[in-house]
Structure formats: structure tokens, C-alpha cells
Structure 1
Amino acid sequence: MAWEERDGALWRSFVFKDFSEAWGFLTRVALHAETVDHHPEFTSVWNRVDFRLTSHDAGGVTDRDRALADVIDRLAGQ
């Protein structure tokens, strides 16, 4: 599944083997997001992580969101 653009945001879900794998992935995303000062909205339920990327100050999806989506894909091994 690729990123989907809807409601002024990029959306994607990732499914992992278990909670630990999902949490490790989220940790890697968080460390990167902090370095680029662009923090994603996400939910995590056991082995699934859902993202919603948008630039609130710009009122929608920007190049920063697309760049973060690319990094998230790489961190997930996609």
C-alpha cells in the first residue's frame, strides 16, 4: 500500500510482526522527525502504525510531508 492523499493529508498504515517491531519502527521515525522538526500524527495499535502527514501551518500537504513519507518508507524497509 502506498501513501494516499485525502482530506489535506498523506495517510498510510504499516503492519509489523508484533508490538516490539512496531514500537521500534516508531522510535526510529520519532528520532528522525525530531532532527527535521517535522512531527507526524500517528496511532499505534499492537502491530499496526497509522500515519497522517500534513503541514498545519500551510493548510495541507507540502514537500516536507512528502520527504518525511519517503523517510518513513525507508525506515519501514519499503
Structure 2
Amino acid sequence: MDTPEGWMLEDGGKALVRTFKFRDFSEAFAFLTRVALHAEKVDHHPEFTSAWNRVDFRLTSHDAGGVTDRDRKLAEAINTLS
């Protein structure tokens, strides 16, 4: 299975994960806002945590029991939005 640039598989291939770091909280929050708007548009919502300048993502399709094309496409979109 191909993973988008910068992403890794975890949990036995059931999730795509990646960490993004920014200069400060405002940049990280602005990035999360862009991701949220895109996620609403495509109706596929990421799991994430945020702490000051860091945003950690975990993408999986719970109903499919693992990574699907929707997760890969969302990861690629997140890369573009960063």
C-alpha cells in the first residue's frame, strides 16, 4: 500500500499518521482551520491532537476497519494545505 509523502502506517496498517510543526500556535491553528474546512467539504474527518505549534494526525476509516482511498486522499489534501 502506498502512503502519501511524509505519512507512515501504524497499528498494523490500520491508520496513516503524521506530525506537522509550525512556528507558533497561530500558524498551527490556521492550518487546522484549513483542514477542518476541507474535511467538512469531503465529509471525511481526521483524528488529530494539537499542542502549541504541533499537530498530530491519525487517519483511518472506522467503518472499513483501516486505511482506505479516502484516507490517502485526505492525507494528500492535508499535505497541500500545510
TM class, shorter-length: over 0.9
Query: Aligned-pair distance for 1:2?
Result: 1.1
Match of 1:10 in 2: 16
Query: Aligned-pair distance for 1:38?
Result: 0.2
Identical columns (%): 74
Unmatched runs of 5 consecutive residues or more in structure 1 = none
1:20-35 correspondence to structure 2 within 5 Å: 20-35=26-41
Q: Match of 2:57, SS?
A: strand
Superposition TM-score, scaled by structure 1 size: 0.96
Note the aligned Cα RMSD (angstroms).
0.9
Unmatched runs of 5 consecutive residues or more in structure 2 = none
Q: Deviations over 1:14-47 (max 9, x none)?
A: 0000000000000000000001000000000000
Output the CA distance in 1 between the equivalents of 2:6 and 2:31. Answer: 17
Corresponding pairs, count:
76
1:1-78 correspondence to structure 2 within 5 Å: 2-7=6-11, 8-76=14-82
Q: Match of 1:60, SS?
A: coil
Runs of 4+ residues over 6 Å off in structure 1: none
Query: Aligned-pair distance for 1:50?
Result: 0.1
